[in-house]
Amino acid sequence: MSAGLTRSSRRPLLSSLALIAALVLAALVFRRPLTAWFTGTGNGEGERRHGEPAVHAQHGDASPLSGAPGATASDVDHFTCSMHPSVKQTEPGKCPICGMDLIPVTKEQQALGVVTIDETRRQLIGVRTAKVVLAPLRSSFRALGHVSYDESGLTDVSIKVRGWITKLFVNRTGQRVARGQPLFTLYSPELYNAEQDFLLATKSALGAASVDGGNRGGGLAKASRQRLHLLGLSEAELDAIVARDAPLENVSFPSPASGFVTEKDVVEGASVEPGMRLFRLAALDKVWIEAEVYEADLAHVHGGQHADVTLDYLPGRTYDATVAYVYPYLDPKTRTGRVRMELANKDLELRPGMFANVALTADLGMRLQVPAAAVVYTGPRRLVFVDLGEGRFKPQEVDVGIQSNGMYEVRSGLRADDVVATSGVFLIAAEARISTAAKYWESAADDAGAPPPMPSSDSHPMSPVASTTSPRRTAPARSVPSAAKVAPAAIYTCPMHPEVESPTPGKCPKCGMELVPKGGAQ
């Protein structure tokens, strides 16, 4: 056998340790000995049958109203079990399901959901409080972006005549070029004929001027010169043609801008057509940062807003950017909007295609705020527990908005300087849910009046089931001995599923437990 424990053998051990820790914590919080969880006794009391009044010992036994400090018998609304809140009785006793002592629930607790926690228990569960404040709220959020080319710095190189590439000087993608640098030479019959016409018109104009001093051929020469200029020849090339008195067979075309070749669609010797794109040049002295912002954050983004840009490959380096434009549409697949920022890139550290992290901050002005740890999510509601003093906490429904820096914006439900619980909130909520204020813990379906779920397929075929919200769904009652029959007004329910009600005894269609009289009567 292996000396170490296998993974399967460690699981029961870990489960046992977790159970022991949970029992110890429960004993500390509820001030009940560990043996009570197994024997069904509590606070040193012996076993007694359900329904009997509690007989208290003379030494150290707790009062039936010990769970409600300062309460009297007239203040008690009912008694319930801390583990089975569906059990409700008018007299103290033991839970019919687990045997635990029933705890009292006062009328104030039942109506307002107020729970009382003494100082000792507050220290055990670590309850802390904080004030609701009215302070400036800044919404900070991050977006994923990428570096892209500055579209205003893109340049396409094309020609306006048909011809053939005779020499290609720039023949690599990514090559850096300067404005005026030759890119290629072109032979074009159309361009060659235009050069000849230009030479003839120029000579004719010079001859006419020498004979009579007139300018009869000047207009034709000017038109021929303008034609070649529109076809792509520069003034220097036209003067060179006039100087050599011969047309150029291979005309050189220079780069119209400085930048890097991002696309090259031609090779040496290729045939080209008018309008065909031969090169695409991009200037990288300035780049764009395009960030994808979630739809919920777009309302807080505007032009001129400051942003911090960081890149993973440059740790510790932060670029200060400004939002230049917010695009007026969303990506239908990701449901995000695009935001554009511009950055100078003199050292060429930012290269198109790189990912960038963009941090945006929006100043939302003065807002009522509560710590995020104080908010409890209960289905359709958001609750906080307001400290009323003297150990009393009241659940209060709130409408929260933006969350930022550990604080929630409070739209309604609280006022400035209200004190709320910020630590141990879930334990307070658990006790409130066990004993009080059922309206705070109902689901959205219950609020809408939706009927309860249908009985499961493994329910007893003869089990009578009658829902309070749907009284028409009833099953034939099972015949029982006459000794077990009760008055027609008696209602039976399941201890684990209180929504199941029946006019006659039987079994629960959900869990198979025996139905008991509603109200705890035997």
Position 338 in a domain: no
Instruction: Residue 291: count other Cβ atoms within 10 Å of its Cβ.
Output: 25
- Greatest distance between any 2 Cα atoms in the chain: 145
Tokens encoding 452: 């309860």
Amino acid at 208: A
Domain end residue (candidates: 282, 309, 329):
282
Pairing of strands 355-371, 376-378: unpaired
State which of 232, 259, 282 marks the end of a domain.
282
Closest residue by Cα to residue 515 from 487, 493, 482: 493
Confidence at residue 212, expressed as pLDDT on a 0 to 100 scale:
56
- The reply to whether 503 falls in a domain is yes
Output Rg (C-alpha) for the chain, integer angstroms.
43
Give residue 358's pLDDT.
95
- From CA 245, how far away is CA 203, in angstroms rounded? 9
70 and 23 inside one domain:
yes
Domain housing 275: 151-282
β-strands 115-116, 318-330: how paired? unpaired
Do 83 and 186 reside in the same domain of the chain?
no
Split into its structural domains, the chain has a count of: 4
Q: Which of 496, 509, 502, 507 is nearest to 453 (CA)?
A: 509
**What CATH number is given to the structural domain containing 184?**
2.40.50.100
Q: Which pLDDT does position 471 carry in this prediction?
A: 40
| Beta-bridge mates of residue 516 | 493
Q: What pTM was estimated for this model as a whole?
A: 0.56
Q: What is the pLDDT of residues 138-197, one digit of tens each?
A: 888 899 999 999 999 999 999 999 999 999 999 999 999 999 999 999 999 999 999 998
Round to whole Å and give the CA distance between 272 and 160: 10
CA dihedral 475, 477, 478, 482 (to 10 degrees): 170
Spans of the chain, pLDDT less than 70: 1-74, 82-83, 85, 108-111, 208-218, 434-489, 519-522
Pair 466, 508 in one domain = yes
Same domain, 428 and 465: no
* DSSP 8-state symbol, 353: T
Residues 470 and 424 in one domain: no
* Edge-to-edge strand ranges of the sheet holding 271-272: 251-254, 182-187, 163-168, 271-272
Residue 346 lies in a domain: no
